Amino acid sequence: MTRRLLAAIVLLVAVWRVPAGLAAPQAMVAAAHPLAVEAGLEMLRRGGTAVDAAIAVQMVLGVVEPHASGIGGGGFLLHYDAASGAIAVYDGRETAPAGATATMFLDADGKPLPFAEAVVSGVSVGVPGLLAMLELAHGEHGRLAWRDLFAPAIDAAHAGFPAPHRLVQWLGRMPKLADEPGIRAVYFNPDGSPKRLGERVNNLALAATMRLIADQGPRAVLEGDIAREMVERVRGHVRPGTLSPADLAGYRPVKREALCGPYRRWTVCSMPPPSSGGIALLQILKLLEPFAIWKEAPDSLQAVHLIAEASRLAFADRARYVADPAFVAVPVAGLLSDVYLDQRRALMSSDRSMGEVEPGVPPGYVERGTSHVSIVDRSGNAVTFTTTIEAPFGAQMMVRGFLLNNELTDFAARPEIAGRPVANRVQPGKRPRSSMSPTFVVDGDRRLLAALGSAGGARIIGDTVQAVIGLLDWNLSMQQAVALPRVINLNGATELEAETPLSGHADALRALGHRVQVRRHEGGLSGVRRVGDGWEGAADPRRDGIARGE
């Protein structure tokens, strides 16, 4: 079965469509696994809020999609209040331990460690922030009891679940995971073979850990016996890290202001630094605005070329300027100013690629495995929430049934380049730069039109941009927008998704000066869009997710 045929089949079941003559669902959950979606809907049926549902969804994802997210990681969550139109931003990004050093990802010769060695190590593990961030959001926007939100995840971990396609796929790609005793016991069979599609997976240790969190809150993991075990695993690794009990106990989530900007007649709001997602998303949209991209077909050569060119400009600035704002003065206003973007847009041509570009100098600058959840509750409040442990299976270390993150590899390995400090260098207590881009689109009355976001590392930004353009410029359904063939440019090669119509543009793009790669795309989008007085939802057909409403 080809990928294209498989995508077409999945497309039929991945979205809640509104039959003719029926009202659209009044609540919607879109996430990366059906059991997680059902957990969120259960909370909404019981009168819970979008935040209540998001917590239940996340806990189940940590059980059924452990390679992508979990309580050993972090995330960013945006909450939309339907009554006021206000958007609250919650930053649960991991932080570097107090003992972290700027050179910890360099070898004895001062060269960056091979990425695989950096990932599977104690130095890659950051202080997890997910639970503390969710507790803060629940305290402000939750309605159901905290402990009740864990019941579906505890049941799934204890009773077991059929191994889904994507988990099986990653287990097959990474046979060395079996070297970790905790991972081997849960995700491999007694004969050493990885779990096959549909085989039962139980995680009794994680069920027990979640019972403790349900009763005690985040301190069950950030303090006490579990915290000590995490520290022992990190410090006892052959390449040890510096994580300490004080690092864990001292973690605090941060509330931030949403980063919003105009795009045509709408307002797009996303995540501010330490994520680069919001800045890059808004830069790309504003760079494209005068090109009347709405007149182009989604798979046209001109649309692909312009999206790639705008993306490379945004990624050049991302690499130079964006990092944790507690450590670096990020020139956000300058990067998004009309004058600056007009200057950057002047570099673009409709019939020639710029090739790799240098960052600009914005006004005000002075030299100095991921998953996504989109939810709307019956009151119209919404959550867009991106959650991660970074690489598939994180640092490949398991404690009490959950995997530790490798988020610190999101820092730059080199602390300086050409004698200039790198903005995203490692510093104690710093949050590594992220590409996670949970996004809301609202109209002129602050009425929510869409909530969306993606998994996929640095490619999150391109996926989210294309989905927003699909919704706003090409008037696509949410399912069509998340399933669009992908064009990605990280200020290098223009990537075209294999086995899609876009791959046919490869030679024409090369003739325009692009360096082109045709490659598979992992995807990971999910979203919810307003339809009349209700909602439609969608999940990326490249993964195991669904959207359901009622």
Residues involved in catalysis? 370
Q: Which amino acid is at 246?
A: A
Task: Record the tokens describing residue 353, joined without a space.
Answer: 């690629």
Beta strand pairing call for 439-442 and 494-497 = unpaired
17: its two tokens: 């469509």
DSSP code of residue 188: B
CB atoms closer than 10 angstroms to residue 290: 11
Backbone region of residue 526 per phi and psi (left: phi > 0; alpha: psi in -120 to 50; beta: other values): beta
Vertex 267 angle, CA 261 and 268, to 5°:
70
DSSP 386: E
CA–CA distance, 161 with 39 (Å, rounded to integer): 14
- Residue 341 and residue 338: Cα distance in Å, rounded? 5
E-only strand ranges, 118-214 = 161-162, 200-201
Token couple for 530: 């307003």
Contact between residue 204 and residue 157 where contact means Cβ atoms under 8 Å apart = yes
What residues does 421 pair with on adjacent strands? 416
Strands 74-80 and 416-417: unpaired
482 — alpha (psi -120 to 50), left (phi > 0) or beta? alpha
Phi/psi at 172 (nearest 5 deg)? -70, -30
User: What single-letter DSSP state applies at residue 129?
Assistant: -
First vs last C-alpha separation in the chain: 33
Residue 63 to residues 203, 265, 403, 432: CA-CA distances in angstroms?
8, 41, 10, 25
List, in sequence order, every residue forming a beta bridge with 530; answer none if it has no partner: 535
**Overall size of the chain counted in residues:** 550
Q: How far apart are CA 5 and CA 527, in angstroms?
A: 23
**Beta carbons within 8 Å of 543's beta carbon, 6+ residues apart:** 32, 166, 455, 522, 523, 524
Query: At 465, phi and psi to the nearest 5?
Result: -55, -50
* Exposed / middle / buried, residue 109 (Cβ in 10 Å: 0-12, 13-18, 19+): exposed
Q: Determine phi and psi for 77, rounding to 5 degrees.
A: -130, 130
> Contact, 109 vs 272, CB < 8 A?
no
